[in-house]
């Protein structure tokens, strides 16, 4: 039995779908069990909140391994520690945590620091006799962050964004999920970290051009200060500080260098090349029309 945390979100929903497609028995942790999360009849939906350790006990009973996704904000270290503690108590064997690129290189921005603290908690709990083994996935920026462009593209034929020049090897969240599914369902990933990314380093101008070509209409790109983009992202439900920090990272040459690297890691892990940004755009054109 595999438990998926974050099952209603971008990556977790894909992890659930891909595990079900692979014939695995899947349980999905949700905060509000009263809602219809549209996860499909094969999936057992169980309640639990990462902020409340005791709420995780029932969800983890009988679970062999779990996909652990936290929001990436200041709650991340506590949520990771709570989950790993409850998993150890329940005798869970293996946790696959979605971490972040900055953890790979020890970057000291807030988001990397929070994920690193979460990783540390999993390592410490994993050292206990009953502690679960861990695997950390450390992706760079997701292709799907372009979802935040959808409203202005539809309404004004424009993208308003910050940091438009640095190149980033963006990764499709479906591929982040594929890496997680591989780590959860095949042997030999315990104690390993995977710095995964996409197949091409693209700046925002290039990504907007790809979107415009797919839509068959010109798009204007308007560069804004990071604070304005973070404020707009907050209105769309993102954590402002997280957006500010991740965009701010791109002002740092050492981060830019790492974020733009095209690596073989995904293909080595999953056995096929990662999807392109164009693939993501083509499959999500409806949200921009
Ligand atoms: N976006 C990027 O470019 C990027 C790049 C690298 C790494 N990451 C990492 O990816 C993660 C975000 O992934 P995502 O975009 O798939 O997330 P998302 O779409 O924002 O979904 C978050 C999920 O977490 C659940 N959740 C939130 N708080 C919870 C709690 N207290 N207890 C239980 N579940 C809770 C939410 O469930 P509800 O339905 O209950 O709200 C939702 O299912 C972060 O850790 C981030 O640092 C992101």
Q: 219-243, pLDDT tens digit by residue? A: 999 999 999 999 999 999 999 999 9
| Ligand 1 site-directed mutation target among 72, 79, 84, most atoms within 8 Å of CB | 72
Alpha carbons 259 and 242: distance in angstroms, whole number: 17
In ligand 1, which atom is closest to the CA atom of 6? 43
Query: Is pLDDT of 34 > 90?
Result: no
Strands 94-98 and 65-68: parallel
Q: Is the CB of 16 under 6 A from ligand 1?
A: no
Kindly report the protein residue whose alpha carbon is nearest to atom 13 of ligand 1. 11
Strands 192-194 and 133-137: parallel
CB 198 within 8 A of CB 274: yes
CA of 70 to the centre of ligand 1 (A): 5
Tell me, what's the pLDDT at 36? 87
Q: Is the CB of 141 under 6 A from ligand 1?
A: yes
Across residues 14-41, what is the average pLDDT? 94
Alpha carbons 259 and 170: distance in angstroms, whole number: 8
Give the confidence band of 37 by pLDDT, cuts at 50, 70, 90: confident
Q: Is the CB of 6 under 6 A from ligand 1?
A: yes
Q: Is the CB of 49 under 6 A from ligand 1?
A: yes
Domain 2-139+172-194 has CATH 1.10.260.40: no
Structural domain spans, the chain: 2-139+172-194, 143-170+198-263+275-288
Domain 143-170+198-263+275-288 has CATH 3.40.50.720: yes
Closest CA to 91 of 57, 68, 54: 57
In this prediction the pTM is 0.97
Tell me, what's the pLDDT at 222? 98
| Ligand 1 site-directed mutation target among 3, 5, 7, 9, most atoms within 8 Å of CB | 9
CA of 19 to the centre of ligand 1 (A): 18
Q: Is the CB of 166 under 6 A from ligand 1?
A: no
Tell me, what's the pLDDT at 28? 97
Q: Quote the crossing angle between the two packed helices 240-249 and 110-126, to the nearest 10°.
A: 100
Same CATH topology for 2-139+172-194 and 143-170+198-263+275-288: the answer is: yes
Element (H, E) at 36: none
Q: What are phi and psi of 31, to 5 degrees?
A: -80, -40
CB 140 within 8 A of CB 197: yes
Kindly report the protein residue whose alpha carbon is nearest to atom 14 of ligand 1. 10
Tell me, what's the pLDDT at 245? 95
Q: Is the CB of 100 under 6 A from ligand 1?
A: yes
């Amino acid at each position: 039995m595999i438990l998926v945390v974050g099952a209603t979100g971008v990556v977790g929903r894909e992890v659930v779908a891909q595990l079900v497609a692979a014939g695995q028995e899947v349980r999905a942790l949700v905060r509000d069990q009263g809602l219809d999360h549209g996860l499909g009849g094969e999936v057992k939906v169980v309640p639990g909140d990462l902020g409340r350790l005791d709420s995780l006990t029932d969800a983890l009973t009988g679970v062999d391994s779990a996909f652990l996704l936290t929001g990436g904000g200041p709650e991340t270290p506590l949520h990771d520690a709570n989950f790993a503690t409850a998993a150890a108590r329940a005798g869970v064997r293996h946790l696959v945590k979605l971490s972040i690129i900055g953890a790979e290189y020890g970057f000291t921005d807030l988001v990397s620091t929070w994920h690193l603290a979460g990783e540390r908690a999993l390592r410490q709990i994993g050292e206990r006799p009953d502690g679960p083994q861990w695997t950390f996935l450390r992706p760079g920026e997701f292709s799907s962050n372009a979802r935040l462009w959808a409203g202005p593209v539809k309404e004004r034929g424009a993208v308003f964004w910050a940091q438009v020049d640095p190149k980033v090897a963006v990764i499709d969240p479906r591929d982040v999920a594929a890496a997680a599914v591989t780590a959860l369902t095949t042997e030999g990933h315990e104690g390993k970290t995977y710095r995964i990314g996409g197949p091409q380093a693209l700046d925002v101008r290039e990504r907007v051009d790809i979107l415009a070509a797919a839509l068959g209409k010109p798009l204007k790109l308007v560069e804004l200060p990071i604070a304005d983009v973070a404020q707009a992202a907050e209105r769309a439900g993102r954590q402002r500080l997280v957006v500010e920090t991740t965009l701010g990272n791109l002002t740092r040459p050492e981060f830019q260098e790492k974020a733009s690297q095209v690596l073989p890691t995904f293909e080595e892990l999953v056995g096929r090349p990662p999807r392109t940004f164009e693939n993501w755009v083509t499959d999500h054109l409806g949200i921009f029309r």
